[in-house]
Structure formats: C-alpha cells, structure tokens
C-alpha cells in the first residue's frame, strides 16, 4: 500500500471483518503482540523474544486461528510505536508483504488513569484502539511517521553525527582561542581586524582634571 500524504488518517478503505490487526510493544528484552482477530471475541496477547521470524510465526498462527473460526483473512495490518528500534522492522515486514505503520509516539493522547497504571497490557490495548481509529479514517487518534528508506535513514544519521562533530570542534576551538576571563569572543581578533579591537580593549580613561590652587585667605595674614 502506498503511504498516504496525510499521516493523521488512513487513506485506504478498512474492512475489519477480514483484516487481522496487530500492534507490537517493542523493548530490548521482549516484544508484546496484541491484536484484533476476526472471528474471535478476545484479543490474544503474546510475548516473544525480539525476533522478526518469531513475529511472523505469531501472525500466521493468528491467521490460522481466525480461519478456523470461519473468517476469511486477506491483509495483515501491523503497527508499532516509534522509538529506539527505528524503522528496520517496518521495512522488513513490508518486504514480506505485511502492511506496516509506525505510530508517532507524541501523537497518542494518554489519559491520567493510564499514566497512573502503566503496564505493557494497557499500552498495547491503547495502541490497538488508536490504530483502529486511524484505520477507519477518523482523525484525532494518532499520526503515523513516514517510513524512510535505508539510504534516507543513513543520510539523516550521518547528518546528525556531522552536526554534533562540528559543534564539538567549534566548542573546542572557542575554548582554546578565548583568553581566560574574557566575556566576549570575536573571531576577528586572530585576523587582526582593527574594527573589532574595541570589543576586547577597554576605552582609555581620561586623565583627571588638574586641581586649581587653593585661594589665599587675607584675614589669616
């Protein structure tokens, strides 16, 4: 499916009775998969090791379970929240024929109750609700992140690294070229620019005015 220009809502008609919807809560130690399976009233929750092959197996088992209950599953639709894992999983799932979206984490509204009782189960249940609203074309649930290609992601990462290095080099240069106690730095100093000498050199003080001699007191004489 081509990625819609408006990432706040899906641009593709959504038929829930034959679409297997799954969301993934990603962490370093495990992945938690929650979903809506046509033909089942419950939402199965599956915890697995961070492995894309195991994820495919879980999705296929869910499809087989739906087929046993008389549902006809056509597409898989998967989503996960943007984070440190990046976009490699989304690209890999799409390459294997699974429609995948990445939810912008700051676009999901979190209630006060959810903040007080934060668990992985609540996280995935909330993501399922907002993802279903997005698939139905309803605004205000969440927004998706445009999934970049490997080349685009590498170029962005290289730009960030380059910018950080430049900032570090400039900071080191400023520290090494700024005298101790100087509050203002001017790069023109090292070039000998006379127009900027006043930045560092204080204005000369005027000599004090000469005092007049004290008048003589005739009464004293």
Domain extent listing, the chain: 16-144, 150-175
- In order of 17, 35, 57, 67, 155, the CA distances from 41 in angstroms are 12, 11, 21, 14, 45
CA distance 88 to 86: 6
In CATH, what class is 16-144? Answer: alpha beta
**Interatomic CA distance for residues 100 and 88, integer angstroms:** 11
Mean pLDDT of the chain: 76
Q: Enumerate residue ranges in the chain where pLDDT < 70.
A: 1-5, 109-122, 160-221
In angstroms, what CA-CA distances link 162 with 94, 165, 169? 30, 5, 10
The pLDDT assigned to 55 comes to 94
Per-residue pLDDT, 186: 45
- The gap from C-alpha 25 to its chain's centroid, in whole angstroms, comes to 16
Using an 8 Å Cβ cutoff, are 157 and 88 in contact? no
pLDDT at 100: 94
pLDDT at 190: 45
Q: What pLDDT, on a 0 to 100 scale, did the predictor assign at position 59?
A: 92
CA pair distance 217, 219, nearest whole angstrom: 6
pLDDT at position 174 is: 60
How far is it, in rounded angstroms, from Cα 46 to Cα 32?
6
- Looking at residue 187, its pLDDT comes to 46
């Amino acid at each position: 499916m081509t990625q819609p220009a408006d990432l706040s809502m899906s641009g593709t008609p959504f038929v829930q009775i034959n679409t297997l919807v799954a969301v993934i809560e990603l962490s370093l130690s495990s992945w938690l998969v929650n979903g809506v399976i046509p033909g089942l009233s419950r939402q199965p929750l599956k915890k697995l090791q961070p492995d894309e092959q195991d994820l495919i197996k879980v999705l296929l088992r869910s499809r087989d379970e739906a087929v046993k209950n008389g549902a006809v599953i056509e597409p898989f639709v998967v989503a996960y929240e943007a984070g440190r894992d990046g976009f490699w999983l989304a690209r890999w799932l799409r390459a294997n024929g699974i429609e995948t979206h990445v939810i912008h984490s700051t676009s999901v509204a979190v209630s006060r109750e959810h903040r007080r009782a934060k668990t992985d189960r609540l996280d995935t249940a909330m993501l399922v609700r907002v993802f279903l609203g997005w698939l139905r074309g309803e605004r205000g649930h969440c927004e998706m992140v445009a999934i970049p290609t490997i080349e685009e992601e590498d170029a962005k990462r290289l730009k960030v690294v380059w910018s950080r290095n430049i900032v570090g080099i400039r900071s080191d240069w400023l520290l090494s070229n700024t005298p101790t106690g100087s509050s203002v730095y001017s790069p023109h100093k090292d070039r000998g620019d006379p127009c900027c000498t006043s930045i560092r050199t204080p204005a000369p003080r005027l000599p004090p005015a000469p005092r007049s001699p004290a008048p003589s007191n005739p009464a004293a004489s």
